Structure 1
Amino acid sequence: MSESSDLVMPDAADSERAAEAALRPRHLEDFVGQPVVREQLSLVLEAAISRGNVPDHVLLSGPPGLGKTTLSMIIANEVGGSLRLTSGPAIQKPGDLAAVLSSLQEGDILFIDEIHRLARTAEEMLYLAMEDFRVDVMVGKGPGATSIPLPLPPFTVVGATTRAGLLPAPLRDRFGFTGHLEYYDDDELATIVVRNAVKLGADLTQDAANEIASRSRGTPRIANRLLRRVQDWAQVKGNGKLDLSAARAALDVFEVDQRGLDRLDRAVLEAVCVRFGGGPVGLTTLAVSVGEEPETVESVAEPYLVREGFLVRTPRGRAATALTWQHLGMAPPEQSDTLFT
């Protein structure tokens, strides 16, 4: 990497992280949506604070972008502890985890994103740390190796996962509270968009907020991203006001349609319908036809398309539904092997 890149990229990354952080609520009462998880978590935190203890370990599961990282920040803020952030893929050896754990102070919150991707050897160390607040450090090698217990101050692990089914049972059972985050409805997303527009200093109308919310796929992260893109359009192409016409024009520029489908989503649907007659078609073949990796199609586009009823997964592959043909403005073939016939 060039010297100029080293100078520019960190600042760009810092500014992007700063923009994201500025939009995150700091208190549980300001967190919009997830009423069940919010109430349960409030009880857990208030009880722990009243007893003078650290809260039980917390596991948050659900699709990406729904607020798991934000909730971890809120937990740290509510209990007055420092937040340490890491991720499962970053901890591949017990020594990596030991270095993180040994730096914790009493009452700190350790947030582990994608915790289901922890290395198995690191999991074993985490079990002991979560239960007994200690880690065993091996000194030396071979027959002369010695295990030295290292006590840890009381702390709280907040684990986040998008694949709760991949968590080993021993790890899952060590969490005192488990919350599952659901997709947001349009009213909740509109509330989030309006609040964040105020934080950004944007002049946003309610109609524009509703339009952004309806195209955000039930996900606050997407809603925040679309809000910033509409603000960009209004600043460069419009008069600075984020009204309905500006929102629609901006979202058209960034290829987000009325149902929240983006370029990849529509490419997948068009491939199934136009190239494969509505399916069924295998994942690998479908990915090649749209020029993407199978993992990208399966993890990025497919979950929303299946949830909204545009695609169905069958033993023979992916198939289009009647909604897909209608959305694309196309007539299904008279003789079709798709499931809607």
Structure 2
Amino acid sequence: MSMFDNDEAASRLVGGSADADERAVEAVLRPRTLSEFVGQERLREQLSLVLDAARARGHTADHILLSGPPGLGKTTLAMIVAAEMGAPLRITSGPAIQHAGDLAAILSSIGEGDVLFFDEIHRTARAAEELLYTAMEDFRVDVVVGKGPGATAIPLELPRFTLVGATTRTGLLPGPLRDRFGFTGHLDLYEPAELQRVLARSAGLLEVELREDGAHEIAGRSRGTPRIANRLLRRVRDFAQVRADSVVTADIARSALEIFEVDTMGLDRLDRSVLSALCKNFGGGPVGLGTLAVAVAEERETVEEVAEPFLVRAGLLARTPRGRVATPAAWTHLGLAVPQRAPFAGEAELDLFGTNDDN
């Protein structure tokens, strides 16, 4: 269970594989206010209205649910909500809440007006989820003491607070939980032009001389995701400092990203391994997820949760009831000839949600 204040949040809520220096850089690059946040104009306007109205009334803001793919700024927006409201930020996540008591301990320690950021809220344990209903709606929790017939529920009044929930899978949230959020916002993938603005801002903070064509090259390989764009910028910066004159141009960016195995579509080593195995080893599919994972020497969850979402969005892979299937674009991207009788030509109905667990 993790819970800490604003000063610690920016440096600790970053990918687990990042070292201390990388986390520090991430913290520097995070926008601090809505005006600094690039992109998501409609969402920023809606969120600004919610927060401005709450401040004008002298009340805490309504509970806020933010949804969208990873890396688009949900954590950053939660920090901005706390900053705009002048309130402390407390942070936890769904996987960290395994029991109702875990959640009760967090809720009992928050103060009046605090902002509680709940990352991956769709992964909260059911018992804790039910406790969250009364906490969000009535600002109280019933703490059960004892077991069996002698168990007693002790009501605990809570100060008014704002819950900011973040999820990458809104469909997994129960209806009663979704309904308790006063505002729901969705973050969309960024357009290349928006990513160029993100990169220009980050380059200024990192004191990197980034030319417009260099920003364009990096943005085109960033999968519509600011987090990826900033990560690629840092790696291109390293290349430019060591092997060039520290100026990031299109040619320098291309050379750097070739070394770091990021191709023109933004595919990395894992993505290309999945596509290559699917096309070369299994004739384009259909092939089961477990078999595909073994073929690329990765865990099933890694292939499904890390590689597949972007490959599906990019139109390179399709999920069907019979298994994973490579599209014509996948063969073309790998420089392979599209077979005349392809498995994607209407043999199986597409299932973009991959509901068949055996596949």
**TM-score using structure 2 length:** 0.88
- Indicate the residue corresponding to 1:266 in structure 2: 272
Partners of 1:76 and 1:107 in 2: CA distance: 9
Question: How much does 1:274 deviate?
Answer: 1.0
Secondary structure of the 2:35 match is helix
Q: Percent same amino acid at aligned positions? A: 66
- Indicate the residue corresponding to 2:165 in structure 1: 159
Q: Is the 8 A contact 1:321 1:340 kept in 2?
A: no
- Indicate the residue corresponding to 1:284 in structure 2: 290
Pair 1:191-2:191 in alignment: no
- Indicate the residue corresponding to 2:309 in structure 1: 303
Pair 1:219-2:225 in alignment: yes
Partners of 1:271 and 1:35 in 2: CA distance: 40
Pair 1:92-2:93 in alignment: no
**TM-score using structure 1 length:** 0.93
Secondary structure of the 1:319 match is strand
Q: How does 1:123-138 map to 2 (within 5 A)?
A: 123-138=129-144
Partners of 2:342 and 2:23 in 1: CA distance: 48
Secondary structure of the 2:87 match is coil
- After superposing the two structures, state which structure 1 stretch, 307-316 or 170-179, moved more: 307-316
Question: How much does 1:39 deviate?
Answer: 1.3
Q: Is the 8 A contact 1:278 1:332 kept in 2?
A: no
Q: Is the 8 A contact 1:86 1:113 kept in 2?
A: yes
Secondary structure of the 1:33 match is coil
Partners of 1:105 and 1:17 in 2: CA distance: 28
Pair 1:177-2:183 in alignment: yes
Question: How much does 1:139 deviate?
Answer: 3.6
Q: Is the 8 A contact 1:135 1:151 kept in 2?
A: yes
- After superposing the two structures, state which structure 1 stretch, 330-339 or 258-267, moved more: 330-339
Partners of 2:215 and 2:100 in 1: CA distance: 47
Q: Structure 1's 151 and 211: CA in aligned 2 closer, same or farther, altered over 3 A?
A: same
Question: How much does 1:205 deviate?
Answer: 1.0
Question: How much does 1:37 deviate?
Answer: 1.3
Q: Deviations over 1:257-309 (max 9, x none)?
A: 00111111111111111111222222222111111122211111111111111
Question: How much does 1:184 deviate?
Answer: 0.5
Partners of 1:15 and 1:136 in 2: CA distance: 43
- Indicate the residue corresponding to 2:281 in structure 1: 275
Partners of 1:226 and 1:70 in 2: CA distance: 19
Q: Deviations over 1:171-213 (max 9, x none)?
A: 1110000111111100001100110111111111111111111
Pair 1:251-2:269 in alignment: no
Q: Is the 8 A contact 1:113 1:160 kept in 2?
A: yes
Displacement over 4 Å in runs of 4+: 140-144
Kindly provide the amino acid, as one letter, of the partner of residue 192 in structure 1.
V
Kindly provide the amino acid, as one letter, of the partner of residue 71 in structure 1.
L
From 101, 108, 112, the equivalent of 1:106 is: 112
Q: Structure 1's 336 and 39: CA in aligned 2 closer, same or farther, altered over 3 A?
A: same
Question: How much does 1:336 deviate?
Answer: 3.4
- Indicate the residue corresponding to 2:35 in structure 1: 29
Kindly provide the amino acid, as one letter, of the partner of residue 219 in structure 1.
T
Structure 2 stretches lacking a partner, 5+ long: 1-15, 348-359
Note the aligned Cα RMSD (angstroms). Answer: 1.7
Kindly provide the amino acid, as one letter, of the partner of residue 295 in structure 1.
E
Structure 1 stretches lacking a partner, 5+ long: 1-9
Secondary structure of the 2:49 match is helix
From 50, 53, 75, the equivalent of 2:81 is: 75
Q: Structure 1's 230 and 293: CA in aligned 2 closer, same or farther, altered over 3 A?
A: same
Kindly provide the amino acid, as one letter, of the partner of residue 78 in structure 2.
S
Pair 1:41-2:78 in alignment: no
From 292, 313, 318, the equivalent of 1:312 is: 318
Partners of 1:226 and 1:113 in 2: CA distance: 24
- How many residue pairs get aligned? The number is 331
